[in-house]
Amino acid sequence: MKIAKTVASARAFCQKAARPVVLVPTMGALHHGHGALIKKARRLAGKDGAVAVSIFVNPTQFGPREDFSKYPRRWENDLAVCRSGGVDLLFAPAVGEMYAKDHSVFVDASSLSQHLCGAARPGHFRGVCSVVARLFLILQPDLAVFGEKDWQQLAIIRRMVRDLTFPVRIVGHPTIREADGLAVSSRNAYLLPAERQAAPGIHDALRRAARGATRAAILKEGRRLIGKIPGARLDYLELVEAETLEPAKNRVRPMRLAVAVFLGATRLIDNIAVSTRS
């Protein structure tokens, strides 16, 4: 596995690599959810292609009340996950490699970032789009794999690729869950024991609420069930069209029921597909 810490060395590797090059962008602190994305990338690349993983804690997607310095860094663990997944290139640049000191150009998804997490975290998706666009330009991947747990991020990246005509195919991977249904996330490590015990109720609430016959019924039941989770504080619960992230007004197009919940100081997100009706 090649470890590249400069833009020049990462770009050179990918220019010489056999195609396809499949990218898995991450911020590190890798867990078995990331491992599943890497395995998917390995299958897509085949025996002749190359898998690239980026590890970069991106400062531009952190808000003023979010502590960039406290984001977990687990380098040795990350190396082990990448090696076990058959990664060919690990790109781990410093901030100065990705952003000049006087950088002033950003990529923003104006419409899709107004809802859900974008409303609660202003500027977050501008940072996400800006760093992913840089990664696409540096590594020139043929495909990139993103998890469906961050559905809004996935939808925004797909829109960015479409609107800016990046020659990259975006592949979504189903949410990886613990045995009790909790979506795998680096943030789960911040949960206190009682919070961790309560956290699976989030996914259970989504599943049960999604059985409702109407949008109003789904949201009412979802809010009721979230309210019964000990210590839970609801940030948002929305039923949206899967592609546009606009509130779903009918059940003709694919939909996602998305939620953000605070358990103590930890903010957890999740979403599930909701069936359409003929």
Query: Would you say residue 277 lies in a domain?
Result: no
Q: pLDDT tens digits for 34-55?
A: 999 999 999 999 999 999 999 9
The Cα 278–Cα 275 span in angstroms is: 10
Q: Which positions are catalytic?
A: 34
Query: Would you say residue 77 lies in a domain?
Result: yes
- In the chain, the percentage of residues whose pLDDT exceeds 70 is 100
State the CATH number of the domain containing residue 86.
Answer: 3.40.50.620
State the CATH number of the domain containing residue 222.
Answer: 3.30.1300.10
CA distances 138 to 2, 71, 124, 141, 167, Å, are 16, 24, 21, 9, 13
Query: Would you say residue 179 lies in a domain?
Result: no
Q: Output the pLDDT for position 166.
A: 98
Query: Would you say residue 275 lies in a domain?
Result: no
106 and 74 within one domain: yes
Cα angle value 37/69/5 (rounded, 5°): 55
Q: What range does the domain containing 133 cover?
A: 2-173
Beta pairing partners, 263: 232, 266
pLDDT class for 275, splitting at 50, 70, 90? confident
Average pLDDT for 174-201: 96
pTM, two decimals, is 0.94
Q: How many domains does the chain have?
A: 2
20-29, 66-75, 177-186: least confident range: 66-75
The Cα 45–Cα 20 span in angstroms is: 6
Only one residue has tokens 């299958």, namely 43
